[in-house]
């Protein structure tokens, strides 16, 4: 990456991480600390955890459709302001209903997909996998920090103070946006209507399987941590304030497994295999919890295996999505994916609250395991993603666009061509391992100049 790409990746990953940090810090403590609110019940506590995801899911697609047509940075600022305001409202509330309202407003700042699309704008295609992996790992790190800090901060400032901390994080994220340069994009598609663009995205089978994956991943995470805090207290004898000391070493260990997995997935083109193995790891962790949750060390082993698989998935999904999404609808595809993620968090919180009311821990873990098995079966339909590089080129003078595009696509290794006549550019995706010297010569002839591939 060049200096601009490194700076932009750092800034946008930090924005994403600060938002996710604010979300994740609540998850490991609220099922216990939330009982202090007036009118609190297990079902309402689960709703308070998950309602953030519902408003995120509803508004991700509208935000991302706008982001494919208008400047993305102002949309990010708007979303972060809503996130900060919602945290403040939750912090000022004495009842569980006030917390639910605040969390819903915070979730209305649904700019996850916009941030990811902005990162795609400021990085070259051949560097985008690194950038997306960095963002994925920033989510993993925010997960580590949040689960470690959340219980400790709650013991210091209380659950209301924790919500105010999320407000501060939202404002800090706005400041980070100053490091991101202004971008002029060359792949807007004004002729395609909003609904047609959305229809194109949701009809892609590969993308839909990725949407199911992120839905299931965050459903399981959120539902799981409606359960885990009370189990650590009851079966492991660990008070809530010290839960961070449990999560931190488990999560750090999980990152040591996650990093090599990502390298293998990208370098050796084994993304599908690593992906399916990670889902199997989640199933394994949940199976351990079904049969051993009453044992302190078995409980920790199940959590550790789940964390390893979770961090691998969090790093893989953004990169795979970026490889698969259509060029001109990347933000829209990311919006649908982010909606799926947060809808999973909503259903996870709601389901976790209902399972908690049943007071049958083994049954609860069994339900979550069943969901993970269904997810694995669906994911077997995923094909290995295409590993493509891209180049943006000026259109040759007086070229017949359709004929020129057909000749380009006839070259072995060129997988996709998007022509933007108004901007006089063409966006070409190419597999460097497939194109040969003859193909390079044909490409040079069609473009009118030599291209380094």
Domain ranges of the chain: 3-181+193-379, 389-447
Q: Which pLDDT band holds residue 379 (cuts at 50, 70, 90)?
A: very high
Q: Minimum mean pLDDT among 50-54, 175-179, 310-314, 329-333: which range?
A: 329-333
Contact 344, 217 (CB under 8 A): yes
Where do the H-state alpha helices sit in 359-392? 361-379
- Report angle CA 120, 206, 345 to the nearest 5 degrees: 75
Mean pLDDT: which of 12-26, 54-68, 214-228 is highest? 214-228
**pLDDT score of 322 more than 90:** no
pLDDT the model gives residue 126: 61
Residue by residue, DSSP assigns 265-327 as HHHTT-HHHHHHHHHHHHHHHHHHHHHHTTSHHHHHHHHHHHHHHHHHHHHHHHHHHHHHS-G
Burial profile 142-181: b = 16 or more Cβ within 10 angstroms, e = fewer: bbbbbbbbbbbbbbeeebbebbbbbbebbeebbebbeebe
- DSSP character for 386? P
Q: Cα–Cα distances in Å, from 128 out to 1, 218, 410? A: 9, 24, 26
Mean pLDDT: which of 18-27, 120-129, 277-286, 316-325 is highest? 277-286
**pLDDT score of 195 more than 80:** no
In a 3-state reduction of DSSP, which class is residue 418?
A: strand
Report how far residue 89's alpha carbon sits from residue 93's, in angstroms, rounded to the nearest whole number. 6
Q: What is the CATH number of domain 3-181+193-379?
A: 1.20.1250.20
> Higher pLDDT residue, 150 or 137?
150
CA atoms within 13 A on the CB side of 74: 5
Q: Which pLDDT band holds residue 129 (cuts at 50, 70, 90)?
A: low
pLDDT the model gives residue 274: 93
Predicted TM-score of the model (pTM): 0.80
Residue 88 C-alpha from the chain's centroid: 24
Cα distance between the two ends of the chain = 17
Residue 310 C-alpha from the chain's centroid: 11
Range 306-312 average pLDDT: 90
Q: Which pLDDT band holds residue 192 (cuts at 50, 70, 90)?
A: low
- DSSP character for 237? -
pLDDT the model gives residue 114: 84
Name residue, tokens 């649904």.
110
**pLDDT score of 190 more than 50:** no
Report how far residue 428's alpha carbon sits from residue 447's, in angstroms, rounded to the nearest whole number. 11
Report how far residue 364's alpha carbon sits from residue 353's, in angstroms, rounded to the nearest whole number. 10
In a 3-state reduction of DSSP, which class is residue 93?
A: coil
Report how far residue 386's alpha carbon sits from residue 280's, in angstroms, rounded to the nearest whole number. 23
> Higher pLDDT residue, 238 or 318?
238
Fold match, 3-181+193-379 / 389-447: no
Mean pLDDT: which of 3-7, 27-31, 325-329 is highest? 27-31
At 423-437, the pLDDT tens digits run 677 778 787 778 888
Q: Cα–Cα distances in Å, from 389 out to 125, 134, 173, 224, 395? A: 5, 18, 31, 39, 19
Tell me the average pLDDT of the chain: 85
**pLDDT score of 100 more than 90:** yes
Q: What share of the chain is helix, strand, coil (3-state, %, to 5)?
A: 75, 5, 20
Q: At what angle do helices 296-324 and 112-121 cross, to 10 degrees?
A: 50
pLDDT the model gives residue 191: 47
User: Could you tell me what percent of the chain has a pLDDT over 70?
Assistant: 93
Class of domain 389-447: alpha beta
pLDDT the model gives residue 408: 85
User: Could you tell me what percent of the chain has a pLDDT over 90?
Assistant: 39
pLDDT the model gives residue 131: 80
pLDDT the model gives residue 375: 97
| Tokens linked to 224 | 């799981």
**pLDDT score of 188 more than 60:** no
| Tokens linked to 44 | 């309402």
């Amino acid at each position: 990456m060049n200096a601009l790409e490194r700076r932009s990746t750092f800034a946008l990953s930090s924005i994403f991480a600060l938002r996710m940090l604010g979300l994740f810090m609540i998850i490991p403590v609220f099922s216990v600390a939330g009982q202090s609110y007036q009118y609190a019940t297990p079902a309402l506590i689960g709703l308070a955890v998950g309602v953030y995801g519902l408003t995120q899911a509803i508004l991700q697609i509208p935000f991302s459709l706008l982001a494919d047509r208008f400047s993305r940075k102002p949309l990010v600022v708007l979303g972060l302001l809503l996130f900060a305001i919602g945290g403040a409202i939750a912090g000022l509330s004495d009842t569980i209903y006030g917390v639910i309202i605040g969390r819903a407003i915070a979730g209305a700042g649904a700019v996850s997909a916009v941030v990811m699309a902005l990162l795609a704008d400021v990085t070259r295609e051949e560097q985008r996998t690194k950038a997306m992996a960095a963002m994925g790992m920033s989510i993993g790190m925010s997960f580590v920090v949040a689960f470690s800090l959340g219980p400790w901060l709650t013991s210091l400032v209380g659950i209301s103070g924790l919500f105010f901390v999320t407000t501060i994080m939202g404002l800090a994220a706005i400041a980070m946006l100053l490091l991101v340069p202004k971008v002029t994009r060359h792949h807007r598609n004004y002729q395609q209507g909003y609904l047609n663009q959305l229809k194109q995205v949701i009809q892609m089978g590969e993308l839909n399987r990725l949407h199911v994956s992120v839905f299931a991943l965050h459903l399981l995470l959120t539902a799981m941590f409606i359960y885990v805090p009370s189990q650590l207290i009851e079966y492991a004898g660990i008070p809530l304030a010290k839960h961070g000391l449990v999560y931190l070493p488990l999560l750090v260990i999980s990152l040591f497994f996650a990093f090599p997995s990502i390298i293998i997935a990208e370098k050796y083109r084994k993304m599908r295999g690593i992906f399916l193995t990670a889902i199997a790891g989640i199933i394994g962790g949940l199976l351990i919890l079904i049969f051993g949750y009453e044992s302190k060390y078995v409980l920790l082993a199940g959590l550790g295996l789940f964390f390893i698989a979770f961090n691998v998935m969090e790093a893989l999904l953004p990169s795979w999505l970026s490889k698969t999404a259509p060029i001109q609808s990347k933000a829209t595809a990311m919006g649908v994916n982010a909606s799926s993620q947060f809808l999973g968090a909503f259903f996870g919180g709601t389901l976790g609250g209902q399972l908690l009311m049943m007071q049958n821990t083994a049954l609860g873990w069994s339900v979550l395991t069943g969901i993970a098995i269904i997810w694995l079966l669906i994911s077997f339909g995923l094909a290995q993603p295409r590993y493509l590089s891209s180049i943006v080129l000026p259109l040759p003078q007086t070229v017949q666009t359709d004929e020129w595009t057909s000749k380009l696509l006839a070259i072995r290794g060129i997988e996709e061509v998007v022509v933007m006549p108004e901007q006089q550019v063409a966006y070409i995706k190419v597999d460097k391992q497939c194109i040969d010297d003859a193909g390079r010569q044909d490409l040079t002839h069609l473009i009118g100049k030599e291209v380094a591939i």
